[in-house]
Amino acid sequence: MRLYNTLTRQEEEFAPLRDDTVRMYTCGLTVYARGHIGNFRTFVALDLLRRTLREVAGYMVRQVMNFTDVDDRTILESNKAGVSLREYTDRYVAAFREDAEALGLEAVEENPRATDEDNLRSMVEMIQSLTANGHTYESDGSVYFKISSLSDYGKLAHLDHEGIQPGARIDSDRYEKDDARDFVLWKATSPDEPTWDFGCGPGRPGWHIECSAMALRLLDGAPIDIHAGGVDLVFPHHENEIAQAEGATKETFSRFWVHVEHLLMDEGVKMSKSLGNVFTVQDVLDKGYRASALRYVLLSVHYRKQLRFNWGSLDQAEEALKRLFGCLARLEELTGGETHDEVAERVEAARADFAAKLRQDLNVPGALGVVFELIRFVNTSIDNDELGQGDAAEVLAAFDEFDKVLGVISLRRAEEAQPGVPVDEIEQLIADRKAARARRDFAAADAIRDDLDARGVALEDTPAGTTWKRK
């Protein structure tokens, strides 16, 4: 499939290097707080990539997504909360899992945590290799990476050395760095901070080293196929990961780099606490929106374009999903009828188009267009009595196939299974209403419908009888 590679700044043909397995590392969450919907925009996009590689491109996928469970913020917040770092970060690992499940994110093969001993040991080993290769220096108990020792440093971010503003952030108080761009590999700790000592002296890992080390440890060495994350990670995080991994192994770290653009709020600004516009998945659900609608919003804009989030987009997504589900319901209720070659042809064409869009650098919005074009065709065919039960089975199979990538139908089905009113009661009320209509007591009939409507269940009269659905 075609995939845009940040390393070359162009779209390239992607295929895994070894066997038919894509080895992919995706930067996960720093678990100092609950992830917000901007974080999950990235995770949903990467979930789509994972599913597309498997379902459309036909590869196996081995994906690693980490939890950064040690850094300045996690340490600070756990101290404030008065609990251990592990206990504190456990909470947000659990919160992430809850939100991920709500959004229908597939579980990935590995979710390593930076502070697991195996991982810390591999970080230390990598630092030792870097030292052996002459890429490090020590200062005040901390180990730094020496930028000037690696000639192609900067190849990902394409920042020339002069372009990096010195002075913007210098650890002028405690650490002595040779160059403003040098970064810490192993950080000396103060007595009250979590500290490990596996060979680099007492301290804790720098921010970047965990990803380099865990990616190579869990994905069987360099080069891995894909490394991905949000755009903000391009520099310095990913640039530094490359420096570490390549400085240590002298091999290409990752063949492809995939970056997901940001989600912005209404006014075109990033979410930030100071602006009070940070929203979590739970916040969205608490406002009464459904997770399936949120997933739809997050996947309905191409991953390399900024997504301007506003609450109205959730309403639009809700309506679009209702249209999709209305079509599914009609298909499922169809009985009898002929089978038509034209339907089979249209379904086949839609499948091919859908796959082609995704193969083109994950064009999910384009693929959604294909889905809705098929919906119109199906609805028209049913209206004209040109679609039989046999056809319906084929169309439904196609939708199932689409959903293996989109993951939004299965998500909503699970929601639909839990209406606000018990199914038995709904069915009883439908029967009561039918009786009222039979005696032409439309006031009573409408009262039942209005009552259910108010409780979140919509009734629709069709030639085959009355159906209900959750609103």
Partner RNA sequence: GGCGCCGUGGCCAAGUGGUAAGGCAGAGGUCUGCAAAACCUCCAUCCCCGGUUCAAAUCCGGGCGGCGCCUCCA
Site for RNA in 406-435 (CB under 7 A): none
Does residue number 462 form part of the binding site for RNA (CB under 7 A)? yes
Could you identify the residue written with the tokens 């770092």?
Answer: 85
Residue 20 or 176 with smaller CB distance to RNA: 176
Q: Is the Cβ of residue 133 or residue 379 nearer to RNA in the bound state? A: 379
Q: Which is nearer to RNA, 305 or 413 (CB)?
A: 305
Query: Nearest approach, Cβ of 136 to RNA (angstroms)?
Result: 18
**Residue 231 within binding range of RNA, rule CB under 7 A:** yes
In the window 169-228, what residues touch RNA (CB under 7 A)? 169, 180-181, 207
**In the complex, minimum distance from the CB of residue 22 to RNA, in angstroms, rounded to a whole number:** 19
Q: Which is nearer to RNA, 17 or 275 (CB)?
A: 275
Closer residue to RNA, CB minimum distance, 59 or 468: 468
Contact between 351 and RNA by CB under 7 A: the answer reads no
Site string for RNA, 78-107 (x = CB under 7 A): ------------------------------
| C-alpha separations of 16 from 54, 62, 365 in Å | 12, 11, 25
Those residues whose C-beta lies under 8 Å from the C-beta of residue 110, and which sit 6 or more positions away, are 62, 63, 64, 65, 218
Which parts of 368-387 interact with RNA (CB under 7 A)? 368-369, 372-373, 375-376, 379-380, 382-383
The pairing of beta strand 183-187 with beta strand 142-145: antiparallel
Q: How far is the CB of 322 from RNA (least distance, A)?
A: 7
344 touches 388 (CB < 8 A): no
Amino acid letter at 183?
F
Rounded CA-CA distance 375/115 in Å is 49
Within 13 Å of residue 94, how many CA atoms lie on the same side as its CB? 6
In the bound state with RNA, the residue whose beta carbon lies nearer, of 222 and 371, is: 371
The SS3 assignment for 129 reads: helix
Residue 453 tokens, joined: 């409507």
By CB under 7 A, residue 262 contacts RNA: yes
List the one residue from 58, 191, 288, 312 that touches RNA (CB under 7 A).
312
Q: Residue 137 is which amino acid?
A: Y
Among 86, 91, 155, 308, indicate the residue that binds RNA (CB under 7 A).
Answer: 308
What is the smallest separation between the CB atom of 368 and RNA, expressed in angstroms?
A: 6
Q: Looking at this protein, which amino acid is placed at residue 214?
A: M
Q: Does 233 bind RNA (CB under 7 A)?
A: yes
Helix, strand, coil tally for the chain in percent (to 5): 50, 15, 35
Fill in the amino acid letter for 117.
E
Nearer to RNA (CB atom), residue 254 or residue 363: 363
Shortest CB 380 distance to RNA, Å: 4
Dump strand ranges (E) for 18-135: 21-26, 60-65
Minimum gap (Å) between residue 111 Cβ and RNA: 14
Burial class (CB in 10 A: 0-12, 13-18, 19+), 109: middle
